[in-house]
Amino acid sequence: MIVFRVVGLGVFLAITASPAFAVEPARHTVDWYRTHQLARESVLRTCQNDHTHDDAADCRNATSAAHGAVADSLATTGGTDREADPAYYEHDAGMIAMMLSMCANGGVPQSWCSAARTASKNLPR
């Protein structure tokens, strides 16, 4: 019985110490990507071209920064913030779910999250 526990512990340690399970820290923060458009677009192209990178910290940071950059551009250009209106989502459960997922990951304006939550409550049940 002890032999199995030792072997099991050894296998567990070997798996968790493996580089395949290591979490690589992000090279840049969301704020950095938000202000460095060319670098953000380069990372986004890589992430969107190969979804094995989906959980990479830089992919998440660049994606959040892209959402923030859109919000910034709307604020500075006086554009209409359609995503802040619950009617924008109509009864599109997929779009609502996508927005709520982005809200959970951060980087999108709270007004968008609030509108998506309201639209979610208005979905036909």
Contacts of 2 (CB under 8 A, 6+ apart): none
8 Å CB contact between 71 and 81: yes
Model confidence pLDDT, tens digit, residues 40-79: 889 988 988 888 887 899 988 888 888 877 776 666 555 5
Q: Please, which pLDDT band fits residue 81 given cuts at 50, 70 and 90?
A: confident
pTM beyond 0.95 = no
Q: Phi and psi at residue 39, in whole multiples of 5°?
A: -65, -40
Q: Please, which pLDDT band fits residue 27 given cuts at 50, 70 and 90?
A: very high
More confident residue, 108 or 118: 118
**What was the pLDDT predicted at 28?**
92
Q: Count the Cβ atoms, other than its own, within 10 Å of residue 75.
A: 11
Rounded to whole angstroms, the Cα distance separating 116 from 125 reads: 16
